[in-house]
Amino acid sequence: MEVLIPILILVGVAALIVSIILAAKHFEKKRREALESAAEEMGLAFLPDGDQAIHGQVASFGLFNLGRARKMTNLISGSTDEVQIALFDYKYVTGSGKHQATHTQTVASLQSNKLRVPVFTMRAESMFDKIGSALGYQDIDFESHPEFSRMFVLKGENEPQIREFFSPEVLEFFETQNGTSVEARPGAIILYRPGRRVKPDQIKDLLTQAYGVFGVMVDKKES
């Protein structure tokens, strides 16, 4: 009996692990099906395993150079005369052993020659950022818009160019986008909320948000 108890415990643990794996696979299947249906409703293409060409377009952004085991899935894509847009799930792994963590988020990518934007990164400000700012680490603030400066950490090599680009219109727009991270370079931007995947029934809202970002950032001279 003493030998049997450890065996039963091991069998129970194994059964629990298998159940968790099966439940996760079922959840991912349902998510994929719901996103495919949403893409069809929007008249956009759906590629469950992503697309190497689009992955190549975004590869230079910082998000896609973090961690390991990087993977793009559930890609929804389409284009207009002005912009190519892609929405997709993206995950990567950091750490190892009991410190290993998988990071997942839904990303919107916009590619357009009308996006004449400077190179910058923008993300929600944390307590650690406030400490870093006090120690002199870069965070581009705007005295005219303290709410934006409170909400976001904005960084980039060419600060004068970034300040010129972030007009009152751009600053006020992003004051309504709490929690959104943005990375930009000429011709392309990505936006996402770190560690958060958009629910399938909210994917249209992400598309609307992406077009809103495009609208406020596009070169108005060519609109």
Q: Does the residue 38 lie in any domain?
A: no
Mean local confidence (pLDDT), 121-141: 66
Quote the CA–CA distance of 183 and 161 in Å, as a whole number: 15
User: Is 54 part of any domain?
Assistant: yes
Please indicate, yes or no, if residue 68 is contained in any of the structural domains: yes
Contacts of 133 (CB under 8 A, 6+ apart): 139
Q: Is the pLDDT of residue 132 over 60?
A: no
DSSP-derived secondary structure for the chain = -TTHHHHHHHHHHHHHHHHHHHHHHHHHHHHHHHHHHHHHHHT-EEETT--HHHHHHHTTSGGGGSSEEEEEEEEEEEE-SS-EEEEEEEEEEES-GGG-EEEEEEEEEEE-TT-----EEEEE--HHHHHHHHTT------TT-HHHHHHEEEE-S-HHHHHHHS-HHHHHHHTT-TT-EEEEETTEEEEE-TT-PPPGGGHHHHHHHHHHHHHHHS-GGG-
Parent domain of 154: 44-222
Residue 32 and residue 74 in contact, taking contact as beta carbons nearer than 8 Å = yes
Q: What is the mean pLDDT of residues 160-167?
A: 96
pLDDT at 70 over 60: yes
With respect to residue 31, please indicate whether it lies within any of the assigned structural domains.
Answer: no
- Give 27's pLDDT tier (boundaries 50, 70, 90): confident
Residue 9 in domain: no
Q: Examine residue 35 and state whether it is found in any structural domain, yes or no.
A: no
Q: Is residue 2 part of a domain?
A: no
74, part of any domain? yes
Rounded to an integer, the average pLDDT of 172-190 is 96
pLDDT tens digit sequence for 30-55: 999 999 999 999 999 999 999 999 99
For the chain, the average pLDDT equals 88
Query: How many domains would you assign to the chain?
Result: 1
Residue 208's pLDDT is 95
pLDDT digits 0-9 by tens, 185-208: 999 999 999 999 999 999 999 999
